[in-house]
A and B are shown apart, each in its own frame.
Chain A
Amino acid sequence: MEFETRIAIRVFLFLLPFFIIVGRLIYITPSTNSPPIATSEFLQTHGSLMIFLGSGGHTGEMLKILSNVDVSNVTRTWIVSSNDTTSLLKCEEFERSVESPHSPRFLTLHRARSVGEPLISSAKNTVISFYDTFRQIYSLPELPSVLLINGPGTSVPIAYILFVFKFLGLGRTSIVYVESLARVNELSLSGKLVLPVADRFIVQWKPLSLKYKRAEYHGILV
């Protein structure tokens, strides 16, 4: 074999993994495909739903969104932050009204950042929080079929962790993001961050759906 050919083969083999990674990313990233704006009336199979309660107004809005959804035939995994007892109580109250053969599972995640915390310990806590989220999701018996989130920033790592699992071929979780009703003309920061990896991105005011191609608008959902 000639020297030049050998070099060409080596360069090709060296670059191949990068091409595969980029190809895989393009293939699985929802934002490179047009969204399937479709709904189903019935469940054809058993599925699992993971719901993140982001505290305060986010929790309130999420529970209002779910208040008329029949979740009895899906397995439910609720995620709350470790210092957010209010959300846990509200969620337990919600579960008491659900008659279901599947009992819910609760995950408590290490809080990413407290207000007024110094930057260094904040950075350390973010890493701990990310690792903790990863470990807890990894140790689940099955990855959820659907992740439902509506902010705030603490919901972003969960979406990206499940995206990484999808990249590695370990799961197929569909990420469904619902933007806050408080957002009329501009997405929230967590909305902007989740947009590229969200399979379904739902907004509650028309101006937002006109501004962002992938945003679906179906009226107010709460």
Chain B
Amino acid sequence: MKLLITTGATVTFKKLISFTITEFIQPCIDLGFDEVYIQYGNEIDNGQHLSKEFINQCLEGVINYQLTSLEGEFLLERGGKSIKLIFFPFSNNLSKYIQASDIIISHGGTGTIIDILKYSKPLLVVYNEELMGNHQKEIAEEFTNLNYCINVSSENLDEEQITSKVKKLITNEVKLSEYESNSGKVIQGIIYHEINRVKS
């Protein structure tokens, strides 16, 4: 079973990354995942790759691995089980990872959420409460009201709670609805109507 954890590209989602590395690897093994894709961010300032530095800080002392380049893989063996951790800062083709995954944990960016829903993947949204003027919470709650995903605040990242939420997604105890796209017909109708009106 494969898990994708996507944290957004422009800002390093520190709470979610640090939770993933320091608390969530063992639960992933216990839940039966054998591969975890970790998209950790692409925040760069003055030539310093802040996201990479941050994830390396988190890795230190937790597992015997450091990212030397932006992308990396590490096979962790624990208690007779192994899990492969695959790290990348961002991807122009996140769909590839979405398609390959069984369960997804995502930040609250609308673009990413929509991409995930289009592939009907079980989704847990972790909305970032630290971003100012950001609407991740509102969006996560609206999508949850539509039963497209479940959500949790970045302030409530607790190992037991997240494990139980992911478990509910795996066992289908939480049954999510399929996302219905209106397939462009609405906006096409509006554009055509306006052209007809203007040109008449």
Contact surface of A with B, Cβ cutoff 8 Å: 36, 38-47, 49, 56-57, 60-61, 64-70, 74, 145-146, 148, 172-174, 176, 178, 180-185, 199-200, 202, 205, 218-222
> Can you report 23 residue pairs joining A to B where beta carbons are below 8 Å apart?
A36-B193, A36-B197, A40-B196, A41-B189, A43-B192, A44-B196, A47-B198, A56-B10, A60-B111, A65-B184, A66-B187, A69-B191, A146-B191, A173-B198, A174-B194, A176-B191, A182-B135, A182-B139, A183-B135, A185-B138, A219-B182, A221-B186, A222-B114
CB-based nearest A residue for B114: A222
Q: A184 touching B139 by the CB < 8 A rule?
A: yes
Is B132 an interface position by the 8 A CB rule? no
A184 touches B114 (CB 8 A): no
A64 near B186 with CB under 8 A, answer no
B30 CB-CB contact with A under 8 Å:
no
- Tell whether, in the assembled complex, residue B190 and residue A47 are in contact, meaning their CB atoms are under 8 Å apart: no
Task: Please give the distance in Å from B14's CB to the nearest CB on chain A.
Answer: 21
Consensus secondary structure, chain A interface: loop
Known contacts A68-B183, A180-B110, A181-B114; is-contact A39 B197 (Cβ 8 Å): no
Q: A220 contacts B181, CB within 8 Å?
A: yes
Cα of A177 to Cα of B114 in the assembled complex, Å? 20
CA distance A68 to B185 in the complex (A): 7
CB-defined interface of B3-14 with A at 8 Å, one 1/0 digit per residue?
000000010000
B109: Cβ under 8 A from any A Cβ = yes
